[in-house]
Each structure stands twice: as structure tokens, then as C-alpha cells.
Amino acid sequence: MVYNKDKDKSDFILLINQHSGIIHKICRLYRDRPEDRQDLFQEITYQLWKSYTSFKGESKISTWLYRIAFNTAISAFRKKSPDLSYTSELPDLADEQVNDEQTARYEKLFKALQKLNDADKAIITLYLEDLSYQQIAEVSGINENYVGVKINRIKTKIQSLIK
């Protein structure tokens, strides 16, 4: 197989464009300020590029992407100062035609999600992205049977945080 750097580059750009929503959601969960989210997005993209040519296709591309994005977010988050705090800012929902009641519900949900530990954030984000228990297990590294248990516990925790 002949290595084609230009083809890899264009394929990678297409991959990032197709999955940018996933990366933005992860950045939203792990960073409070827009400029910090942009920095994290760039760091995730860089880490994806570094490992792109070594991706062997043994898992779905989205599973690989989630794993690198979460690992980068968690690793970068831990490098930040311990007094880093979240705000209740929401992403720009104006173009999604969300009413005030829905906006308030999203705000409560984001606040609750941000209070979860890193592992729980990752699992519930994958669940909310409609990944199967098997895919969540692959990304998170926990047993597939335990995924359902964890999700139920996280849901209960979120409900108590929202109240």
C-alpha cells in the first residue's frame, strides 16, 4: 500500500467535519469558557491527527474518536488549575428554535452533567449520543454488562442533582 499524505489529510478533514458536533459536546462538558473550548477542540483535533495514520479499523471510527477525545479532555482537564469552575453558559441554541422552558431544562441538565466525575460524564455523554452498550464499553473500558448498571446509577444521580 502506497502512503498518500494528501489523501490522508483530506480524509482526516472530512472526518473532523463529520464528527465536529461530538467534539464540541465533549468540549462543552469539560470547559466553561468559549476560548477554553476552542483550545480543547484544537488539542483533540491534534491528538486525533497524531494517531490517525495508526488507526487500524479494529473498532468503529466513532469509537476511536470518542476514546481519544475523552482521554484528551480528561488529561487536559487535570492539567488545568484545581480552581477551574464551570459556568451555566449554554451553547448558542438560538438557531435551534428552543423556547425558554427548554433552554432552562438544558441549563439544568448541563449543570448536573458538569458535576459528575470524569468517567460518569463520558458514559452518560455516549449514552445520550445513542451509542450501544457495546460501543460504550469499548470507549470507556468497562464491561458491557456493567454499562447498564452505571447508566442507571448516573441517571439517578442526575435526577437528584436537578432537583
Q: How many CB atoms lie within 10 A of CB 132?
A: 12
Taking the C-alpha atoms of residue 105 and residue 101, their distance in angstroms, rounded to an integer, is 6
Grid cell listed for 117 = 466525575
Torsion 35-41-46-47 (CA) sign? positive
Burial of 69 (0-12, 13-18, 19+ CB in 10 A): buried
Is the CATH number 3.30.365.10 carried by domain 1-84?
A: no
Which residue carries 432552562 as its cell?
104
Query: pLDDT tens track of the chain, all 163 residues?
Result: 444 556 688 889 999 999 999 899 889 888 888 999 999 999 999 999 999 988 888 888 888 999 899 889 887 655 543 433 333 333 444 444 556 776 777 778 878 888 899 889 989 988 888 889 999 998 888 999 999 999 999 999 998 988 8
Considering the segment(s) 94-163 as one domain, its CATH architecture is: Orthogonal Bundle (1.10)
Q: How many CB atoms lie within 10 A of CB 38?
A: 13
Grid cell listed for 139 = 470507549
Domain range list for the chain: 1-84, 94-163
Tell me what pLDDT residue 90 has: 35
Torsion of CA 142, 148, 149, 150, to 10 degrees: 60
Please, what's the b/e burial string for 83-106 (b: 16 or more CB within 10 A of its CB; e: otherwise)?
A: eeebeeeeeeeeeeeeeeeeeeee
State CA 58 to chain mean position distance: 21
Taking the C-alpha atoms of residue 41 and residue 28, their distance in angstroms, rounded to an integer, is 10
